[in-house]
Each structure stands twice: as structure tokens, then as C-alpha cells.
Amino acid sequence: MDEKYQYLTFMGLRFNTANCISTLLTALLVFLFVFFTSRKLAMRPGKGQNLLEYLIDFTNGIVKAIMPGDEGKPFYFYIFVLFTFILFSNTLGLFLEVKFNGITFTKSPTADPMVTMPLAMVTLLMSHYYSVEKWGFKGYMSNFIRPVGFLLPINLIEEFTNFLTLSLRLYGNIFAGEVLIGLLLNVASSFGILTAVVAAPMTMIWQGFSVFIGAIQAYVFAILSCVYFSRKLERE
């Protein structure tokens, strides 16, 4: 793609301003959402509280579907924040695409592998952490030679493929959506008013579909996180 980003270097690390601003914006939106829906909590929930409680029930349901019972309890909160954050960031790039002097400043943060990889990393590190906590370090290590010893290399490779599939699936889906929206915008501005009229409904359709894809991908990310947690927590 011909997108240009501004890079900053700080303490030897490169920062993409577009990713940083969008991540911050997403986090801010998520926080404002939960903040304003959780004011005036009552036994009989109002509109906002209802919405938030529905979302919490939904994410709890994702965990319960994979891990029924008490072992899923530590993950309820993480899955809730993860799902909400990914949902908001997937949707952000669909309506907010700020370009200044040809440099993009906001987009979906999840349309960059450098953002989806740490998310997957957090999930997998958490799964390893809870595995060690449950089985002890020895038990955790012995899980790699289960159910039989010669599966050790496959189990090790699986850890990397889990990480890559989890992060790159999300990245690929959202990035493709952004690319297509960028192309449709190019079409719209290529031959004046005529192409704009043609491209506008197509963009709308694709944006609607992208909202669907974004929700599905957030759901898939959350449910796969739960699957990885549960696989580390139970032995066949």
C-alpha cells in the first residue's frame, strides 16, 4: 500500500504515530464507553447499565462455553477488556481515517501486525502463567510431552503457530478491510462526481460488512484465547 506513516524514534525504539494515536484513541473510547455506561448503577439497570451488563454476560459466556466452572473465573475480566478493545479498534478504522499531508494518523490499530502480535503475546503468556500456577513448573514442562513423548516437537511448534495464527488472522482480516476501503476511496476521488456516486454505496456496503468482520474477528480472538487458556489448564 501507498500509505505513509510518520515514525518517531525514542530510546532506540521506532514508534509509528498512527498506531500509537489510534491505540490511545481506542483505549480512550473503550474507557469512556464503560465509564459512562457504568454510572448510576442500580438494582434495576438503566439503558447504559443494561448494555454494559449484556456485554459482560456475552464475554463471560464466551469463557463459560470453553471453561464451564470455576477455572474460567480468572479470565472473565481479561476476555471482556480484550473483546471490547479489539471490537472498538476493528471498527475505528472504518469511519475514522485521518490523513495530513499524505501521512496517515489514525486507522484501525489492529490493521498492523505490530499491534496484534503483542495482543496474542499477552494471551499466550497468560496461558503459560496460569499453567505454571496450576501444575507447578515441573507439571507445566511435562505438559509438553503429553500425551506421548514424541509429540514434543509438535507441541513446541504449536506454541509458535498459535501465536502467529492468532495475531496474523486478526491483522489480515482488518488490514484487508482497510485496504479495500482505501481502494474504494481512491475510486471515489478518481473521476470526480460520477465515480463518487458509484463508489459511495459500495463503500457503505463494505463498511457494513467490515463491522461484521470486525465483530466476528473480535469474537474469534476472544474464543481462541479461551481455548488456549483451557488447553494449558487441562490434561487429556
Partner 1 sequence: MANGLVIAANASLGDSIFLIVTFILLMWLVKHFAWGPVTKMMDKRAQKISDDLDGAAESRSKAEQMAAQRQSELKNSKSEAIQIVNTAKENGEKSRQEIVTAAQTEAAQLKSKAKVEAEQVKTDALNGAREDVGQIAVNIAEALIKKDLNADDQKELIDAYIKGLTNADETR
User: Contact positions toward partner 1, by CB under 8 A?
Assistant: 7-8, 10, 13-16, 19-20, 23-24, 27, 30-31, 34-35, 37-38, 41-43, 45, 49, 52-53, 56, 76-78, 80-81, 84-85, 109, 112-115, 117-119, 121-122, 160-161, 164, 167-168
| Angle at CA of residue 143, ends 138 and 149, nearest 5° | 110
- At residue 203, the 3 state secondary structure works out as helix
Nearer to partner 1 among residue 38 and residue 142 (C-beta): 38
> Residue 16 or 131: which CB sits closer to partner 1?
16
Residue placing its CB nearer to partner 1 in the complex, 24 or 154: 24
> Which residue, chain included where needed, has cell 484487508?
176
Count of CB atoms situated within 10 Å of the CB of 160: 10
* Closest to 2 measured CA to CA, from 183, 212, 125: 183
Using the minimum distance from each CB to partner 1, give the nearer residue, 17 or 195: 17
Between 113 and 187, CB nearer to partner 1? 113
Between 53 and 71, name the residue whose CB sits nearer to partner 1.
Answer: 53
Other beta carbons less than 10 A from residue 150's beta carbon: 7
Helix ranges, 102-233 (H): 113-142, 152-188, 193-233
Q: Could you tell me the CA-to-CA distances from 154 to 139, 151, 161, 229, 234 in Å, in that order?
A: 18, 5, 10, 18, 18
Cα separation of 229 and 67, whole Å?
9
Supply the minimum distance, in Å, between the C-beta of residue 29 and partner 1. 10
DSSP code for 136: H
Vertex 29 angle, CA 123 and 121, to 5°: 15
If the CB atoms of residues 60 and 207 are measured against partner 1, the closer one turns out to be 60
Least distance between partner 1 and beta carbon 111 (Å): 12
Closest CA to 75 of 234, 225, 221: 225
- Residue 40 Cβ vs partner 1, minimum distance, rounded to whole Å: 11
Query: What is the closest distance, in whole angstroms, from the C-beta atom of residue 168 to partner 1 in the complex?
Result: 7
Name the minimum Å distance from CB 5 to partner 1.
9
Q: How far is the CB of 228 from partner 1 (least distance, A)?
A: 17
- The CB-of-143 to partner 1 minimum distance in angstroms stands at 22
CA distance 186 to 161: 36
